[in-house]
Structure 1
Amino acid sequence: MKFVHRFAYYLIGLIMGCFFVALVFSGKDTRCNYFPNARVLNNLRTKPFKYSDKAIQTLNEKWVDTADIKNTLTYGDVDFDQSNVPFNKGKLYVIEGKTVKNQEIILKVTNYENEAVLEEIIKKAVEK
């Protein structure tokens, strides 16, 4: 069998395989969260999210918005040196992120079994 014929059979099989894989995964909400940072952020985003009184007070100051909180919970970095600490029958996570205005913020979120609570929003000091 010539190389061209073998290559054609290979391409036909590859295309059919890609079609079936796309068919199987198209209807599912699949995520590949292999790294600890992605797993923690996904866990916090999928639970009902609540705000503490201190966080609401900071949000009322208008320098940070709930969109900034959502962006930080999507693209932020979990500081594992300060995180995963028992706190009020849950675990405290410290997440670093940025606002839309490029101001660095730190979120302290308590992860309970059934919900996540934003405890505190801290404006990170600018280093010189």
Structure 2
Amino acid sequence: MTLTQRFMKFGMGVGIGLVFIAMAFGPRAFSCNYFPNARVLDEAYSKRLSFSPEAQAFLKAESLDSVFLKKQLFAKSKVDFDKSKKDQVPCREYYATYESKDKTKNYEFTFDVCKEDSKLVSINKK
């Protein structure tokens, strides 16, 4: 057996092994947030999200949609843990601020995180 044949057989073995590995350990829905800010925002949006009438009116007036909420508001905001009531029962209340990169959209909002759902209580322009 020549050296090129050995490399070809080795490459075939590695290829077959990679296919089995991909099937066994394929894509998974897994995310890991290490910092408290990211954990709180992720927990709030991963649960069923409802809106107070005040928040619904503001979102409609500003023409903000659910894509903006998920990709911007609940992903790139800063939670103020000093103003938040994180030990409140049955729902923890958090205060957060959002500032866009171009400084045109600045929002302050309050949301509750309960056991099974979360609620956007209020949102205001900064």
Query: What is the distance in 2 between the residues matched to 1:108 and 1:32?
Result: 24
Larger radius of gyration: 2
Q: 1:27 to 1:90 in 2, by over 3 A?
A: same
Deviating more after overlay: 47-56 vs 70-79: 70-79
Structure 2: how far apart are the matches of 1:25 and 1:52? 42
Superposed CA RMSD in Å reads: 2.7
Give the equivalent residue in structure 2 for 1:48. Answer: 48
**C-alpha displacement of 1:67:** 3.5
Q: Report the TM-score when normalising by structure 2.
A: 0.69
Large movers: runs of 4+ above 3 Å: 22-26, 63-68, 98-101
- Deviations along 1:43-88, one digit per CA (max 9) or x if unpaired, are 111100000011012123226444432211011111111122527x
Specify whether residues 98 and 68 from structure 1 end up closer, same or farther in structure 2 by C-alpha distance, changes over 3 A only: farther
Aligned partner letter, 1:78: V
Pair 1:55–1:33, CA change in 2 (3 A): same
After superposition, what is the alpha-carbon deviation per residue over 1:27-50, rounded to whole angstroms, capped at 9, x for unaligned?
211212111111111111110000
For residues 44 and 91 of structure 2, the distance between their equivalents in structure 1, rounded to whole angstroms, comes to 12
Structure 2: runs of 5 or more not aligned: 1-13
Map of 2:34 onto structure 1: 34
Distance 2:118 2:61 in 1: 22
- Equivalence for 2:113: 111
Number of corresponding residues: 105
Higher relative contact order (CA 8 A, sep 6+): 2
Q: Percent identity?
A: 26
